[in-house]
Amino acid sequence: MTGTIDTTDTDAAADRALKARHRAMWALGDYPSVAVELIPELGPVLVAAAGVRPGDRVLDVGAGAGNAAVPAAVAGARVTASDLTPELFVAGRAFAARHGVQVEWEEGDAEALPYEDGAFDVVLSCIGVMFAPHHQRAADELVRVCRPGGTIGLLSWTPQGFVGDMFRAMKPFAPAPPPGAQPPPLWGDEDHVRALLGDRVTDVTTTREVLTTDRFATPEAWRDHWKTVYGPTVAVYRGIADDADKVAALDRDLAAVAASADRGTGSTVMDWEYLVLTARRSG
């Protein structure tokens, strides 16, 4: 007797395990300090590009500690911040309180958002949704929860920029990605994102900008800070902690990435390229 094996339950279990690892990874280190100290300008850039207005219903996907959600609330919007890692919400609530605004913080998977179709006027993600492993699923959700005529706004690190180089340096030391997972910096490739969104959006606009980081004295100082605060990097180092040669090699390779990007004299100055993309939901 023959039959077909139902892999639905197996696939669902594997997906839950993958998301649990992602949640744990982003809870490592101190990502809120990265958002506040290194990349604070990115959220306001995205909010401005998306044209957030008072009274707009805004969803920030992969909100982290609210680097886009809080500026959107400051602009007068009614904001929901969604993230797979609710451990980040403690810092997010404190960030919102410092700015005197209210934000709704809700745990949610970017690939299966717990909201109705067309629930939001503006759907944002500032270097958040790019880390969802299955890009098409995540893009489908961004479109689904945005109302017809509403705005989708994304800010993502580019593949050819500094962060793309950093991920390439870490890749040989990290576990192989699960089947179907795609590299995060692809969200910084305009053609890739246009293909993900397809004809469900119109009026696509893109700009490439750079974030200048100048707070580190040397490339090695950046590396030593980054390996303690940035979840994906912390996770890679933990995975090779028992192999001193690999740790030394990754130390060398990350410092080399920063050194190649350094244009400073007397201190390390790096430009981290990102893509801002906005689009209007069709219909």
122-136 pLDDT, tens digit each = 999 999 999 999 999
**Beta-bridge partner residues of 78:** 57
Long-range contacts, 105-108 (Cβ 8 Å, 24+): 105/63, 105/81, 106/80, 106/81, 106/82, 107/82, 107/83, 108/61, 108/82, 108/83, 108/84
Q: Which residues are CB-neighbours of 43 under 8 A, at least 6 positions away?
A: 35, 66, 67, 68, 69, 70, 71, 72, 126
Query: Which class does domain 13-213+270-281 fall in?
Result: alpha beta
Pairing of strands 268-281, 201-216: antiparallel
**Residue 4: what pLDDT?**
45
**Maximal C-alpha separation, the chain:** 75
- Cβ-contact 123, 151 below 8 angstroms: yes
Taking the model in full, what pTM does it have? 0.94
Give SS3 for 212. strand
Judge contact between 162 and 263, C-beta under 8 A.
Answer: no
| Predicted local confidence at residue 8, as pLDDT | 59
d(CA 217, CA 228): 17
Q: Which of 70, 135, 139, 143 is nearest to 105 (CA)?
A: 70
Residue spans of the chain under pLDDT 50: 1-7
What does the pLDDT read at residue 5? Answer: 44
Q: Which long-range contacts (CB under 8 A, 24 or more apart) does 243-248 make?
A: 246/173
Radius of gyration of the chain (CA): 19
- Distance from C-alpha of 279 to C-alpha of 180, rounded to nearest angstrom: 26
| Amino acid 131: pLDDT | 97
